[in-house]
A = this chain, B = another copy of it.
Amino acid sequence: MKIAKLSNAMSLQRSVEQANVNHVKTVREVIDHVRQNGDKALFDYTEKWDGAKLTNLQVTKEEVEAAFADFDPQLVQDLEEAAANIRAFHTQQVRPNIDFQLDESSYIKYKITPLDAVGLYVPGGTAAYPSSVLMNAIPAVVAGVKRVVIVSPPSKEGKLPASVLVAARIAGITEIYKVGGAQAIAALAYGTETIKSVDKITGPGNSYVALAKREVFGRVAIDMIAGPSEIAIIADDTAFADEVASDLLAQAEHDRFASSVLITTSEKLAREVQLEVERQLKQLPREDIARASIENFGCIYIAESLAKAVDAVNELAPEHLEIITEQPEIISEQIRHAGAIFIGRFSSEPVGDYFVGTNHVLPTNSTARFSSGLSVDDFIKKTSVVYYSEEMWQKHYPKIARLARLEQLEGHARSVESRSWSKEEFHDC
């Protein structure tokens, strides 16, 4: 792992990936095909790309119960405890309606309504991520969404991973379909005979899934286009090198494009972490992935001061930030841009990835500058409700009419003025 002087914080940033034009074309064809042919297109693509010849898209209750019965009870209990923690913290995010009284009778209300239906994409492949199921599904359920649907590509044998089915059951999700890729996104956005359309699609996926989400954005809402995962660690000479190294590698093992950065005021720590990373890399099952990530997107920066480290992090806006210093809370208060912050040596990132209750779906690629991790807010919407009494209208309509005419919208002015006969006196005939 390279060591460098922290001079130009901007050099930490990776650029946003450009979409592959051929992939865009493929994804558009897939979407059109699903819109035209519905379920048939889903069966065809699933056979073609996942190698699974299905007769039924929907996972049966029996399949879920069988997966649950066979699952390690200790892991069921761990997942249930994690789910309870996620539920507890996300429940804190639930907001009340706002009631804003304008006079005795006139008011504005700001009404919170959950979305009707949400689709959650769960990636397939060798590694299943039950934690992602919990992180995406539970905020929707807490928000009050009535219909939460999971789509995920099946194995050649036409099955979904047991851990995904178990996590779905724990999260309370019963509508699960064996379909992945752009075709699953198309089905969620436009609906087929079997899969009714949803209002929002969340969850990570490969580049085809990401492109498909981008294509259907507007027709439905999407969560975000997530890039490779990242961690930045601010540490001083109080940090233990082996612990810091293990945290950098936990990030690096995700994929070759993951980025792990240490910013430290201690040259001694920098050297020790460098040695530790190498030592631990050799013992890691996913050594090849982690090594590629560390070599290409990993760096140890020596900062002149913690203040300079803070500046660099605010420039970087990392997805994850660990602060392992003598007074980590003071540093934390100075951070403006980060997806999630972990304070002190006992709060390493996996605490948040799996268990403590915060969401692990977080903004990558410096988008923490302007966006947030997944939350209950992503599954509700707000409607303003206005009630003006006759008295309020009487008092204010001339101003409204003037402002409308300033914008040359005469019809708007007449709309508020049209109520004016109501205040005329009735005369004797």
Contact = CB atoms under 8 A, between A and B. Distances in A.
A381 B363 CA distance: 10
Nearest to A357: B108
Contacts of A404: 350, 353-354
A249 interface: yes
B350 A400 contact: yes
A403 B355 contact: yes
A198 to B, nearest CB: 9
Contacts of A340: 383-386
A68 to B, nearest CB: 14
B219 A346 contact: no
Contacts of A358: 108, 384, 386
A275 interface: no
Interface residues of A, number: 119
A367 B383 CA distance: 12
Contacts of A200: 370
Nearest to A329: B387
A399 B72 CA distance: 13
Given A344-B387, A381-B371, A410 B284 contact: yes
Contact of A382 (B280, B372, B392): B372
Nearest to A373: B384
Contact of A350 (B108, B221, B416): B416
Contact of A411 (B225, B290, B418, B419): B290
A399 B246 contact: no
B253 A399 contact: no
Nearest to A346: B393
Interface in A379-429: 381-390, 392-393, 396, 399-404, 406-416, 418-419
A387 B347 contact: yes
Given A110-B92, A403-B82, A249 B388 contact: no
Contact of A115 (B243, B369, B383): B369
Interface string A91-110: 01101001010100000101
A127 interface: yes
A370 B221 contact: yes
Interface stretch (A40-48, A54-62, A330-338): A330-338
Contacts of A392: 346
A351 B388 contact: yes
Contact of A354 (B357, B400, B408): B400
A254 B115 CA distance: 29
B367 A373 contact: no
B411 A253 contact: yes
Contact of A102 (B116, B356, B381, B418): B356
Interface in A232-277: 242-243, 246-247, 249-250, 252-254
A153 to B, nearest CB: 17
A275 B407 CA distance: 27
A288 interface: no
B286 A411 contact: yes
A333 to B, nearest CB: 9
A136 interface: no
Contacts of A221: 367, 370-371
A293 B12 CA distance: 52
A3 interface: no
Nearest to A134: B403
Nearest to A113: B336
Given A115-B369, A370-B115, A383-B372, A356 B108 contact: yes
A21 to B, nearest CB: 12
A92 B100 contact: yes
A29 interface: no
Contacts of A130: 403, 406-407
16 contacts: A16-B219, A78-B402, A78-B403, A130-B406, A131-B403, A218-B225, A218-B365, A220-B370, A286-B411, A343-B387, A345-B419, A347-B388, A351-B388, A352-B386, A371-B381, A375-B382
